[in-house]
Chains A and B, each alone.
Chain A
Amino acid sequence: MSAAPDHTPTFAQISLSERIGKAAPLLLVPVMVALGFLAIGSPSSWLTLTVSGLAMGMMIFIMASGLTLVFGLMDVINFGHGAFISVGAFVGISVLLVLGSWTGAPSLALNVAAVMLAVIAAMIITGALGWAFERVIVRPVYGAHLKQILVTVGGLIVIEQMIHVIWGPDEIFLTRPETLKGAFTFAGAAIEKYRLLAVVFGLVLFVAMRLVFKRTKIGLIVRAGVQNGEMVQALGYRLRLVFIGVFIAGSALAGLGGVMWGLYQEVITAGMGEEMMILVFIVVIIGGLGSVEGAFIGALLVGLLQNYIAFLEPKLALVSNIALMTAVLMWRPQGMMPVVKAK
């Protein structure tokens, strides 16, 4: 970054209430966890559910992060995003099945190497698929929302059918690599190793993304582009290229999310991405379109609520998330952390 002038910056203009208002969404996650504790009663069940809720939230965040930026940067509504989740899962899981001797070995190194290869393969394929999808399907319909919805849903259906053609019509069951199986007990609660790993991995990824957005020029360009793309171009940056890059990265992240979700569920289907998209869209909307931080908080809330309610009243799990969305939008119609758009 540039040389800082020698002085202490003044923030006197920002009122206290404004600062609390900005931070309020951050407080919702602990509030949700506390409410879960009160509603569930049993500390060990609560701990198990909290870890799986956070794990699910992290995976939804990974799937949602690209989508929210694609919308924020170019105002593109991509219903085809779910296809990258499914394709990522099928590619990744296929690699793991091929590497069966590595995943079956009780060796952490071999298991991790297999998962890494699966993730890399999934991200390369879904990134490339995203590049083609943007060129062929999205580019002709810039600025036309209705066409975007129709055409990207069409793309989703075509890709799902391609999965059926390549991998067959049935779901594929799998087991996690040997060392990632099972649970350990902590404070009387059973905590699955894989879920804890997903939480840690999601956190690391989120921190890495934040660093990119705060510390690199490309990150600044993306953040500025979400607010005022016209001005970014007037400063000399080719927003189109930035958008294509974000589209590819977002598709690859969806593919990563697909692999993680497949390992979590231990079964994959061509429709799994489409099913996840309901939660992904809720997260993007309540987070604030274009806001990666908002999507992160939104995803944790959705994951936690989904798990708590599934335990308390299984039939209400999805309804509860729609209720959450309604409540958030009544509080903040632009989402929890809206991006300040130009004009």
Chain B
Amino acid sequence: MSDPILTLSGVQTDIAQYHILQGVDLTVPRGGVTMLLGRNGVGKTTTLRTIIGHWQARAGTITFDGQDITAMPTPARARAGIGFVPEDMGIFSDLTVEENMILAAASGPLDSARLDWIFSVFPPLKTFWRAAAGNLSGGQKQMLSIARAMAEDRALYLIDEPTKGLAPAIISTMAGALRDLKNQGASILLVEQNFSVAKALGDTVAVMEDGRINWTGQMAELANDAALQERLMGLSMEAH
């Protein structure tokens, strides 16, 4: 088995005076989808933000593709091959869809074959190509946010709750796109509260509780064990 694409060991992150991450140990294998699950407020978003460098880890190490990136500035982490889809989508509202996508391709012009692929999974982006991104619907903004990560080939995608607040039809578009990305061999670390989406996409799972990972295993194992789900995540996933 090849070495993992991402490893966190003993990562602690403070936000202001609060100790939010209290020693996160997490391994993301190459290829496939690793689900990061857990109740609201346990630190999933903080974990992703620490990986991309929006929060600086106070202790522990983050190893990406064999390289210690713990102290690296965010732009260097991105250029090393990490794509980030934040929980709030991070759309540049005053820019057009096109301009958002041009910026997403940081290392050169947009690749037209990739763009065709993106349009095929997210047709509305083609329709609204020249429109201000701020005028898109919530689902379309989420598509744009994921499309930006897809604009270049990344070694790892960090995706935070891509189906949050979306209508069922759009959730299935989103899940289809993520499956497409997965089938291309991408490594994805995905936070997802919708358990049916998580079950359909996830290969391995890490569950958080109070700023730590308290369970890791295979998705199949968790999916077939309702009592385990109940214990690890309470009602949050039954809600969907």
Contact = CB atoms under 8 A, between A and B. Distances in A.
Interface of A: 1-5, 7, 9-11, 13-14, 217, 220-221, 223-224, 227-228, 230-239, 339-340, 342-343
A220 B103 contact: yes
Interface in B51-109: 52-54, 73-75, 78-79, 84, 86, 88, 90-95, 98-104, 106-107, 109
Given A220-B99, A227-B93, A230-B90, A236 B134 contact: no
Given A7-B129, A10-B128, 6 more contacts: A5-B119, A9-B131, A13-B131, A13-B136, A224-B103, A233-B54
Given A234-B86, A236-B106, A5 B92 contact: no
A48 to B, nearest CB: 38
A11 B131 contact: yes
Contact of B54 (A220, A230, A235, A239): A230
A204 B115 CA distance: 35
Contacts of A217: 102-103
B78 A236 contact: yes
Given A10-B127, A233-B74, A237-B75, A340 B103 contact: no
B126 interface: yes
Contacts of A235: 78, 103-104, 106, 148
A242 B130 CA distance: 25
Contact of A234 (B84, B95, B101): B84
A220 B102 contact: yes
Contact of B128 (A1, A9, A221, A343): A9
B184 interface: no
B197 interface: no
5 contacts: A7-B126, A10-B128, A231-B90, A234-B90, A342-B88
Contacts of B214: none
Nearest to B109: A2
B216 to A, nearest CB: 26
Nearest to A221: B103
Interface string B1-43: 0000000000000000000000000000000000000000000
Contact of B98 (A2, A227, A232, A237): A2
A21 to B, nearest CB: 13
Contact of B94 (A236, A238, A340, A343): A340
A340 B93 CA distance: 7
Nearest to B101: A2
Given A5-B119, A5-B129, A10-B127, A234 B78 contact: yes
Contacts, number: 104
Contacts of B107: 236
B172 interface: no
Interface centre among B86, B94, B109 (most CB of A within 10 A): B94
B224 interface: no
A232 B131 contact: no
Contacts of B53: 233
Given A13-B131, A235-B148, A342 B90 contact: yes
A221 B128 CA distance: 21
B45 to A, nearest CB: 13
Interface centre among A9, A10, A223 (most CB of B within 10 A): A9
B130 A9 contact: yes
A220 B94 CA distance: 10
A199 B54 CA distance: 44
Contacts of B222: none
Contacts of B115: 2-3
Contacts of B93: 227, 340
A232 B90 CA distance: 9
Nearest to B96: A9
B121 interface: no
Interface string B202-234: 000000000000000000000000000000000
Contacts of B196: none
A311 B117 CA distance: 63
Contact of A3 (B94, B112, B137): B112
B131 A234 contact: no
Contacts of A3: 110, 112, 115
B111 to A, nearest CB: 9
Contacts of B126: 5, 7
Contacts of B75: 233, 236-239
A2 B100 CA distance: 11
Contacts of A232: 103
